[in-house]
Amino acid sequence: RKEVEQDPGPFNVPEGATVAFNCTYSNSASQSFFWYRQDCRKEPKLLMSVYSSGNEDGRFTAQLNRASQYISLLIRDSKLSDSATYLCVVRGLSNFGNEKLTFGTGTRLTIIP
Amino acid sequence: GAVVSQHPSWVICKSGTSVKIECRSLDFQATTMFWYRQFPKQSLMLMATSNEGSKATYEQGVEKDKFLINHASLTLSTLTVTSAHPEDSSFYICSALSDSFDSYEQYFGPGTRLTVT
């Protein structure tokens, strides 16, 4: 089983629609959770952290359920510029005790005009 | 946010040669830097963690003698792919950990696309 699993998509949705991504993680000792965005042939960029209480940043809402080891991202009123691959990322410790980010394979989103 | 640069941004080399990739934190000091590899349509995979002044720690399955990492200063880490082969062709991305009183985050470089012919 992969450490971080995401639906690879692709998701093709019309501009203005709401879209939701899900993610599950296997390591219950994971400490922190994030959503990153990666554009084609570019580095990943932090979109937002994810907290147990749920958090919102403009059109983006993230939720974390530690009991279910489940993370979600909701994008409302989607824009053309939201087209990208969204990466679910979990932070924990490696076998050496170092910080380690584990990335999901990403969900590809295309917003259609 | 903090800025991390990588050089070169892309490189083509012949099989059997070695390639060095540099990762620099431009406006902060990074005790810890990370090297990732991303194959097409796959996730970023951590290759190794680099701590300034000490040996890097490598993830399982990553050959330390093939991927040489040097972190000689608080702003520079290098990854050398030795005796590169076509299967080493990939997108190599570094990140630098900013650990200050108001920030604890990995900042990613723009990546280096390596093609081995």
Q: Got the DSSP string for B37-79?
A: EE-TTS--EEEEEEETTS--EEPTT--TTTEEEEEEETTEEEE
Q: Which of A6, A43, A90 to mutate to test the interface with B (most CBs of B within 10 A)?
A: A43
CA distance B84 to B67: 10
Report the pLDDT averaged over residues B65-82. 94
What are the tokens at B11? 């490189």
User: CB–CB of B108 and A44 under 8 A?
Assistant: yes
Interface of chain B toward chain A, CB-CB under 8 angstroms: 32, 34, 41-46, 49, 51, 57, 59-60, 91, 93, 95, 97, 105-106, 108-111, 113
Confidence at residue B1, expressed as pLDDT on a 0 to 100 scale: 66
Closest approach of chain B CAs to the CA of A48, in angstroms? 11
Confidence at residue A41, expressed as pLDDT on a 0 to 100 scale: 85
User: CB–CB of A100 and B105 under 8 A?
Assistant: no
Confidence at residue A9, expressed as pLDDT on a 0 to 100 scale: 85
A102–B contact, CB cutoff 8 A: yes
Q: Which stretch of A47-61, B63-77, B102-116 has the lowest confidence by average pLDDT?
A: B102-116
For residue B102, name the pLDDT band (cuts at 50, 70, 90): low
State chain B's mean pLDDT as an integer. 92
Per-residue pLDDT of chain A (113 residues; tens, 9 = 90+): 789 999 888 999 999 999 999 999 999 888 899 999 999 989 999 999 998 888 999 999 999 999 999 999 999 999 999 999 999 999 988 877 888 999 999 999 999 99
Strands A84-93 and A99-103: antiparallel
Nearest CA in chain A to B99: A99
HSE of A39, CA atoms in CB hemisphere, 13 A: 7
Dump pLDDT digits (tens) for B18-28.
999 999 999 88
Confidence at residue B41, expressed as pLDDT on a 0 to 100 scale: 84
Q: How many CB pairs under 8 A join A and B?
A: 49
Q: Of B44, B60, B105, which has the smallest distance from its Cβ to A103's Cβ?
A: B44
Confidence at residue B103, expressed as pLDDT on a 0 to 100 scale: 65
User: CB–CB of A4 and B43 under 8 A?
Assistant: yes
As a residue count, chain B comes to 117
* A58-65 long-range contacts, CB within 8 A, separation 24+: A60/A35, A62/A35, A64/A33
Confidence at residue A93, expressed as pLDDT on a 0 to 100 scale: 85
Which residues in chain B are closer than 8 Å to A105, comparing Cβ atoms?
A: 41-43
As a residue count, chain A comes to 113
Nearest CA in chain A to B33: A99
Of residues A85 and B102, the one with the higher pLDDT is A85
B93-108 burial string, b = 16+ CB within 10 Å, else e?
bbbbbbeeeeeebbbb
A32–B contact, CB cutoff 8 A: no
